[in-house]
Structure 1
Amino acid sequence: MAISGFEGFEKRLELHFYGDDPMGLRRIDFVSIRQILDAVQCSVVSAVGNRCFDAYVLSESSLFIYPTKIIIKTCGTTQLLKSIPSLLSHAFQLGLGLCGCRYTRGSFIFPKAQPFPHTSFREEVLYLEEYLPSSLCYKKVCILPSKACHSWHVYTASDHHHMVDHLPNIFTMEVCMTQLDGVLARRFFRRRGDGNSGDVAGKEMTALTGIGDINPTALVCDYAFDPCGYSMNGIDGAHYSTIHVTPEDGYSYASFECVVSVDSDVMEALKKVARVFRPGTMSVSMCMGQNAGVADVCSRVAGALKPLGLEIRSRRVEEFPAAAGIVTFQTFTARRK
């Protein structure tokens, strides 16, 4: 818990590996997963999986494990980057080699409450440089500023030889929202004395808020915290989506993230997310391949949000080395009466 309130903005770590085992990272047993998360200072509260990957709802956000990719996203005052030494040790024991890393986060609401190594972006980068192998020689560090206060921090490192095809037909969208509509945010508070488990209360919130309609084909694993807060993971084939909500007045926050194919109707999902939360400020970051039609994607994002009263305030595009792709970052503010 931060000094002034709970820190909603997440830290996100994505690691890519290479190896011959079809199961790869999915062979890491649950005891080892718990040990990895202990270093981060969070735990598993619910889980689901399919033939492609495993998805865990955490006490602070989410964990996704594919055979050659792992994504950890944590909020609050968690020490996300401290998962790296243990993660690399388990992967190497499975015969996997690290070939890519991406670390992203927004601007913390309560930066002074963050523990090492998250006290500053500089410290985070130094920590990454210390623990990542030197074979990840294609690197870039940047901060994409914003007039709407959701500046975006990005670090990438990759081994060009193994990362060539990791972003051919998919992209990752990360959405951060603050100043949530007060009436809608109240839906993410538990009913006092409801007696339900977090799983049961989570399913109620999913239905009540319309989150279940964002991707009706996804299998949803959801959880409601006490007295307030909500997390969900959706799995749909090889793709995931995730939502996390901190609804308290004064520092309300919600995030939406999804990995989808380039031919999916992700803009419709984005509009549904905006309607669920009606944020005052919203940022949309997208990571995509070099040939994804960046200008068109950016225009489609702005076009999807404008009819909902969200006006674009800034747009940045950054190209990253090797096969780390292109990152776009757009911010929006609401026209409110």
Structure 2
Amino acid sequence: MTPAIDLEATANRLDSYTPAAFHMEHHHHHKDTADLLMEAKEAQRIKTLEIMDARAELLRAKLSDDASSVTTAVDSNSGSPEKVVDDFHDPCGPFEGPEKLLELWFAEEPSDVSACRWSDPDARPDHFGLRSVPKAVWETMLDIVKCKVLSVIQGSHVDAYLLSESSMFVFPHKLILKTCGTTTLLLGLEKLLTIAAKALAGLNTAATFAKLSTPESEDADDNDEASTAMSDSSFIQERQLGSIVKHAFYSRKSFMFPERQKGPHRDWMLEVAVLDRFFDHGSAYTVGKMNGDHWLLWMGCEGAREAEVSSVVERPLTLPAPCVEDQTLEILMTHLSSASCARFVFDEELPHPTVAECFPRKQLTAAEASAPASSLDKGHALGLALSNKLGLTELFPDTEIDAFAFEPCGYSANAVMPRGGKNDNAGYWTIHVTPEEDSSYASFETNVALCSNSPAADALDETTLQLPTNLPSLVRRVVDIFEPGKMSVTLFVSTSEQEEEQVGSDKAVLTNEDILHALSIKGYKRTDRIAYEFERYNLVFVSFEKRRSR
């Protein structure tokens, strides 16, 4: 039998523990349960000190600008390559495909910021809110993140920035920043919020920090902590900046090469610590297997905002409702097939694509069709030609696409289209591919909510290339293009009070969460399935692995 453990005696030993006493005891007897617990406590203490040192180093790093190396970007106005100076990534070793994803909501709808504009003379005309911020200003933030703007497409409701490392989408009232490699996304958070605060200066906000100056507890230790917080002016400034954000989300897949990351991105808890400095009431989650592929999520609630009755905008009740008002679908894929990887390798000797390859729907003469697409630089022309070949330009109707092919390999694309939202009609999708076979990765993300009551995907002819009509058909279409060995699918959906009241009642139509929860993909086995219910949002996480052929 296993001997009983005297927990009280063990606790007393731990409380009186010192490293010197610990080493002295170990000269006289073998380890018992208390010894093992003391070792664990010491290891945890050392780990805590390491994290604290790393956090201090992080704060110092925010004030410094490291030495630079040279990389190439494309100026979106001229379309020609230019040399730029940047503290870039180590060119040696594998590239980290999985992205860091930050989404910040400063208001619920675009109309809420219609009176806000960038105050400087360089403001973009005919735009309001965050879209009035000029490109050059956003680039000052992206320099801190360590990525460059390749090109920009301006949709009716959103600006899509194609970056050297992924994408940025700027709406009037919110912003999405997605970066891969060893970019330092969270180090750019302070600059991003500073820009947003200036652009949205007319927004009704009230940053109240009474809780920092008037501690609730009379305990001396609590007062000391409050005094320390008050003396940290940078902390107060960060909280003031964070208070303009209504909702904040940060997420990423587990890294393939975490040891190559920089700044706070070396450790998930360091990333959480940075976010917690800016935002109140944040919560961090690990979704999936800790000893396998998993997805990390941080959510922050509404900032210190006082909504005045006079600022409420009345809207007609007869507007058609979308499937959901806010939905984000992510498909994160690894172990792409060799054939799929080969599609995204671009040799220097490849010819410049023709006009017909880039614009297949244009009415062209034979001479025009065979001429090089000289209106695009080679990277954009190769990217657009491949997008057409893979059918990506036909994923959704009325799509405007911006794609880039990297030499010797790699691919990125942004697309904007109407999404059918009731109050926000700005739809987008974005794709990024890292095709190195030892660390291949591809991601697909969209906020377009295909209605769950569309025709069943199983009834479609899988041999025919068709416009996806529902969530399963979209997932299968993407999977067929990239042929991953493993993948995870996450669906983040906003919920209304009316929907929450219907929980437990019979539903005439399955929701997209229900459909994803039950999703099956031919040739794949499901390895994980998790559902979360947060305040205002539901999350479904499903992972798949390709079945081995017998």
Same fold (TM over 0.5): yes
**Residue 266 in structure 1 maps to residue 471 in structure 2:** yes
Structure 1 position 113 matched with structure 2 position 234: no
Q: 1:310 to 1:25 in 2, by over 3 A?
A: same
**Structure 1 runs not aligned, ≥5 long:** none
**1:29 & 1:36 partners in 2: Cα distance?**
12
Moved more, 153-162 or 182-191: 153-162
Match of 2:176 among 51, 68, 71: 71
1:241 — aligned with what?
429
Number of the residue aligned with 1:172? 328
Of 169-178 and 261-270, the range deviating more from structure 2: 261-270
* Superposition misfits of 4+ residues, deviation over 4 angstroms: 160-164, 292-296, 302-305
Structure 1 CA distance for aligned equivalents of residues 134 and 97 of structure 2: 29
Report how far residue 109 of structure 1 moved: 0.4
Tell me which of 296, 304, 317 is aligned to 1:153: 296
Q: List per-residue Cα deviations over 1:220-245 (Å, max 9, x = no partner).
A: 11111111100111111211001000
Question: Structure 1's 121 and 242: CA in aligned 2 closer, same or farther, altered over 3 A?
Answer: same
Distance in 1, matches of 2:283 and 2:266, equals 20
Select 1:306's aligned residue among 507, 521, 543: 521
What SS is found at the alignment partner of 2:448? Answer: strand
Higher helix share: 2
Measured at CA, do residues 268 and 147 of structure 1 come closer, stay the same or move farther in structure 2, by a change above 3 Å?
farther
Listed as ranges, the matches of 1:103-252 within 5 Å are 103-130=250-277, 132-133=278-279, 136-137=280-281, 139-146=282-289, 149-159=292-302, 169-194=325-350, 196=352, 197-237=378-418, 238-252=426-440
Aligned counterparts of 1:251 and 1:332: Cα–Cα separation in 2: 18
For 1:48 and 1:56, how far apart are their aligned partners in 2? 7
User: Greater CA deviation, 45-54 or 92-101?
Assistant: 92-101
In structure 1, C-alpha distance between the alignment counterparts of 2:136 and 2:301, rounded to whole Å: 29
CA separation in 2, counterparts of 1:100 and 1:119? 25
Structure 2 match to 1:326: 538
Instruction: Report deviation, 1:318.
Output: 1.9
Q: CA RMSD in A?
A: 2.5
Question: Is 1:25–1:66's contact at 8 Å kept on the other side of the alignment?
Answer: yes
- 1:272 to partner: Cα distance: 0.7
Relative to the length of structure 2, the TM-score reads 0.56
Confirm or deny: 8 A CA contact 2:113 2:172 kept in the other structure. Answer: no
Q: Could you tell me how far 1:302 is from its partner in structure 2?
A: 5.9
Instruction: For residue 267 of structure 1, report the CA deviation from its aligned partner.
Output: 2.6
Which has the higher mean CA deviation after the structures are superposed, 214-223 or 45-54?
A: 214-223
Distance, in Å, in 1 between the alignment partners of 2:519 and 2:324 is 24
Taking a change above 3 Å as real, the CA distance of residues 313 and 329 of structure 1, as seen in their structure-2 partners, is same
Offset of 1:215 from its aligned partner?
2.5
Partner of 1:7: 96
Q: Which one-letter code corresponds to 1:311 in the other structure? A: K
Change (3 A) 1:126 1:163: farther
* Aligned match of 1:39: 144
Q: What is aligned with 1:289?
A: 494
Kindly state the Cα deviation for residue 210 of structure 1 after the two structures are TM-superposed: 2.9
Q: 2:286 and 2:197 mapped to 1: Cα distance?
A: 31
Structure 2 equivalent of residue 81 of structure 1: 186
Q: Secondary structure of the residue that 2:481 maps to in structure 1?
A: helix
The Cα shift of 1:121 comes to 0.7
Which shows bigger deviation, 186-195 or 47-56? 186-195
Q: 1:147 to 1:219 in 2, by over 3 A?
A: same
Q: What SS does the aligned partner of 1:81 have?
A: helix
In the TM superposition, residue 258 of structure 1 has moved relative to its aligned partner by 0.4
Larger Rg computed on CA atoms: 2
C-alpha displacement at 1:82, in angstroms? 1.5
- Count residues in correspondence: 328
SS of match in other structure, 1:300: helix
Say if 1:231 and 1:244, in contact at 8 Å, map to a contact too: yes
Q: 2:156 maps to which residue?
A: 51
After superposing the two structures, state which structure 1 stretch, 13-22 or 276-285, moved more.
Answer: 13-22
- 2-structure distance, mates of 1:288, 1:160: 21
Q: Which residue in the other structure is 1:336 paired with?
A: 548
Higher normalized strand content (fraction of residues)? 1
Amino acid at match of 1:331: S
Matched AA of 2:541: F
Alignment partners' CA distance in 2, 1:121 and 1:275: 32
d(CA) in 2 for partners of 1:58, 1:284: 24
Q: Distance in 2 between matches of 1:64 and 1:193?
A: 33
Could you tell me whether the CA contact under 8 Å between 1:105 and 1:153 is conserved in 2?
Answer: yes
Q: 2:271, 2:513 → 1: CA distance?
A: 29
CA contact (8 A) 2:517 2:540 kept: no
1:260, distance to aligned residue in structure 2 (A): 1.7
Structure 2 residues without counterparts, runs of 5 or longer: 1-88, 116-127, 204-243, 308-322, 353-377, 419-425, 452-468, 504-509
**Residue 184 of structure 1, CA deviation:** 1.6
- Provide the rounded CA distance (Å) in 2 between the counterparts of 1:261 and 1:296: 11
Q: 1:213 to 1:185 in 2, by over 3 A?
A: farther
| Contact 2:334 2:486 (C-alpha < 8 Å) held by counterparts | yes
Give secondary structure in 1 for the equivalent of 2:447: strand
Contact 2:517 2:529 in 1 (8 A): no
Partner of 1:317: 531
The higher-RCO structure (CA 8 Å, 6+ apart) is 1
Residues 221, 162 of structure 1: alpha-carbon distance in 2 compared, 3 angstrom cutoff = farther
TM-aligned CA deviation for residue 299 of structure 1 = 4.8
